Amino acid sequence: MLKAQSLSIGYGKTRIGSGLELTVQSGDILCLLGPNGCGKTTLFRTLLGLLPALSGTVMLGGKPITAQTRAEIAHQVAYVPQAHAPPFPFEALEVVLMGRTARLGLFGQPGRNDRAIARNAMDRLGIGGLAHRDYSRLSGGQRQLVLIARALAQEAPLIVMDEPTASLDFGNQAQVLAQIAGLVQDVATRGCAVILSTHNPDQAFALNAQVLLMKDGVRQAQGSAHEVLTDASLSNVYGIPVSVETTSSGRKVCLPSLACQSAPTITSDALTIA
Ligand SMILES: Nc1ncnc2c1ncn2[C@@H]1O[C@H](COP(=O)(O)OP(=O)(O)OP(=O)(O)O)[C@@H](O)[C@H]1O
């Protein structure tokens, strides 16, 4: 489905990361973890063909992504960005219908089938009641769910989500994680795959995901959450003592030390918090 080899990422002459390798197949969940500024969004933009790789290759559906049109890419991969308020007012349903764009002709208008698919996607996420609300006036969490519904309406076999739970409340975080788990198992979606970034390593355990743990644009560890997320690797990447514990129900959780630390450093050439 998606394969990246020897990938260097960045902006013009500014290299943000290098030596990145990943393969995603139907039914996979790949979780990108790493500190602020380590290059997760830059990697996403490169994998989506929105940003040229500085070197290396991204193959989507067996073809170089650079050789494919936006419409071809959109048939294969949907992107859920972090939610921002748009400058123009749209109904939430219209935003979800935008997921159908690549399936319409050049001047095509969404038809009854497209509307049904968009409504289904909203119902599936429990936000059918928001269909006619002004998207720009929804809460951050509601907007995030609308963008996830837009990706579902796109019916692409791979969904890339940039911090999909960032602005969601506790309950909606669990709901979205459950949807992600359901998507990759669901026969109706023919076992799609999901790549997501998160700042919460517990989510990688909850999803039983594959993990790419990054720091300064470089892979620190890669493999199943259970192999990769250890006290040592998390402490190293986040610069604070972290302990991975197992709950009485057998689930693993990551507990950062709250003892006073020296100031955390945001990686790369980004800010350093004093
Ligand atoms: N358009 C750009 N031009 C140059 N540098 C950029 C650009 N956008 C981002 N960067 C830099 O690239 C680095 C990686 O940023 P990126 O957004 O990929 O990190 P991230 O891991 O997604 O961070 P976060 O977890 O905070 O969202 C940062 O140092 C950032 O300042």
Mean residue pLDDT across the chain: 89
CB 14 near ligand 1, within 6 Å: yes
pLDDT over 90, % of the chain = 66
Q: What is the residue whose two structure tokens read 């493999």? A: 223
Token digits of residue 264: 């955390």
Between residues 3 and 86, the one the model is more confident about: 3
The topology (CATH level 3) of 2-82+155-256 is Rossmann fold (3.40.50)
Residue nearest to atom 17 of ligand 1 (CA): 41
> What mean pLDDT do residues 179-199 have?
82
The predicted model scores a pTM of 0.89
Torsion angle of the four alpha carbons 156, 158, 162, 167, in this order, in degrees rounded to the nearest 10: 60
pLDDT at 180 over 80: yes
Domain ranges for the chain = 2-82+155-256
Per residue in 28-40, pLDDT tens?
999 999 999 999 9
> What mean pLDDT do residues 163-175 have?
86
CB 39 near ligand 1, within 6 Å: yes
Angle at 5 between CA 10 and CA 41, to 5 degrees: 35
CB 198 near ligand 1, within 6 Å: no
Angle between helices 140-154 and 112-124 (to 10 degrees): 130
> What mean pLDDT do residues 154-174 have?
89
Measured between alpha carbons, how far is 30 from 215 in angstroms, rounded to an integer?
16
Distance from the alpha carbon of residue 109 to the mean position of ligand 1, in angstroms: 36
Atom of ligand 1 nearest to the CA of 163: 27
Per residue in 100-157, pLDDT tens?
987 776 667 888 899 999 999 999 888 999 999 999 999 888 888 899 999 999 999 9
CB 269 near ligand 1, within 6 Å: yes
pLDDT at 272 over 50: no
What pLDDT, on the 0 to 100 scale, is given for residue 274? Answer: 34
What pLDDT, on the 0 to 100 scale, is given for residue 107? Answer: 64
Atom of ligand 1 nearest to the CA of 45: 18
Q: What is the ipTM of this complex?
A: 0.98
What pLDDT, on the 0 to 100 scale, is given for residue 176? Answer: 85
Probe target for ligand 1 pocket from 11, 13, 42, with the most ligand atoms within 8 Å of CB? 42
Nearest Cα to 168, choosing from 199, 194, 195, 209?
199
Token digits of residue 262: 């020296």
CB-CB contact of 19 with 27 (8 Å): no
